[in-house]
Structure formats: structure tokens, C-alpha cells
Amino acid sequence: MAIKRKALGKGLSALIPEELEKEDIKKIEEIDTNLICPNPNQPRKVFEQDKLEELTESIKKYGVIQPIIVRKDNDIYTIIAGERRWRACKNANIKSMPCIVRDIENKNASEIALIENIQREDLNPIDEANAYDFIMDRYGITQEEVSNIVGKSRVYVTNIMRLSNLDSYVKEKIVNNEISAGHGRAILSLSPEKQIAMTNLIIKEDLSVRDVEKLVRDTKKPKRRVQPEKDKYLAYVEEMLTDRFSSRVNIKRNKNKGKIEIEYINNEDLNRILDLLKIED
């Protein structure tokens, strides 16, 4: 059975030893789905029902194409990656499924060598993000654990991994050193279309990261509504009433009806206005 590997950057692919890939093939086992359980630390808690149903139908027709990754805990196998496939198998009443069993606690020499290579290699930021993602997927570990393994701060690892959410066009520009990782982080909150447009502007105008951060902030500022110019008669009445009450008066009109607002600053000022209106409180 062919093992699909998550797409990696060109620089990172050279770091994955062929032996490491062969190890996965050797570790494939058919395991009873009832002996498999979800990882309680799995960040995804909700699975889209329609997509899960589509996967269930696909598995009914073609079987499980890609094994899930599990860790053995006594007689139970805890899922590291592939919970959606396991749920689909359960829905399809499939009794067993292919799994790659990994001994997470006791990493062998080749796995440790892979981590050390990633740590030493001068990777571009996108390859580095893919490397950390690969480690987390392979060993079922957290970003904090990755930061300890590779000797980087948690914030550094988090910021690098956020680049994985960029549009592929933007990632390519970072790999080719046309824009920096800082530029990429600055436009992460934009839609893919706006990311591409902003990337082209960065290259064309040679914008700094600070320039881009300001542009992104400006695009998110709510547009101020332009107040329509008031009717000259209403403006005159407002001015007259403002003089009459010595308080700001605002008249709002909507078609044939509206309201008059008289501002006051405290209770004493309110009583003064009521006296002028000859209204008893």
C-alpha cells in the first residue's frame, strides 16, 4: 500500500531519509476499529457531518486508502492522526482498518536524526513550517513539545507555523525571497484574494513590514458613514431651538416623521429645560 506523505518543501524533502518512509510501511497493521479510540487532546472536537458522510460512502466503495496513525496504550490504540477516517469506518460498520503503530515515547535513531537535521538545516520559513507540521503529525506532539525538541521558543514555532495558512501564491514568494516571513504574517488575516493583491503590491512598491501592517489596519477600519446634508429649514429650526434652550438641539427626520433631541448635562440642566417647556417633573 502506498503511503501518502504530507506535501513538503523542496528543501525539507531531502531531509526525510528513505529508511524512515520504509519504516512506516513495515509498521502497518490491520486493527479492530473497536480497539481504537480518539485522542482526548485532539483539538478538533466537531466534524462536519456532510463531509464525514461523503468519506463514509467513499470508504464503503474503495476501502481505506491511507492508514491512520496510532499509539498503543496497553490493549487500546489511541489515534495520533486520522480520527475522521476512523469515524467514517465506524459509520460504515468496517470491523478493522490499516494503522501505522508508532512508539511515541521511544523515538528510534532515525527519527532523532530527522529532528536534528531539521534543527541544523538552513530552511526557508515555509519549509521550516512544514517541518514542524511534519514532526507534530508524525509523533503526535504539541507545538510546545516541538519548540523543546528543536531548541526554539514556543512563540517562534507558533509564528512560523502560522505561515502554513497563507495562500500558496504567497508561500511561493516567501520561498523565492521575494517577500519576507514578516510580510506573510502581516497579511495572514486577509482573504486569499487580498493576500495575493497585497503580495504583488509589496513586491512592486518594495514595502516594509511596517508599511504592510499599516495598510492591513487601514483596510479593516470601518468606513465612516457620510451624514447627508440637512435640510436648510431643519438646520434653521435647530439653531433657533438651540438658542432658545441654550442647549444643543438635534432634529432627525425620516421621510414624513422624525424626532427632536435636546441635550442636557445634569439634573439641574434638565430641570432648567423643563421649566422652559413649562413641564412639571
Active site residues: 83
CB 125 within 8 A of CB 160: yes
Q: From CA 93, how far away is CA 78, in angstroms rounded?
A: 19
Q: From CA 98, how far away is CA 66, in angstroms rounded?
A: 8
Q: Which three cell numbers stand for residue 153?
A: 521558543
Q: Which three cell numbers stand for residue 161?
A: 507555523
State whether residue 263 is helix, strand or coil: coil
Burial readout 78-105 (b: 16 or more C-beta within 10 A, e: otherwise): bbbbbbbbbbbbeebebeebbbbebebe
Q: From CA 120, how far away is CA 110, in angstroms rounded?
A: 15
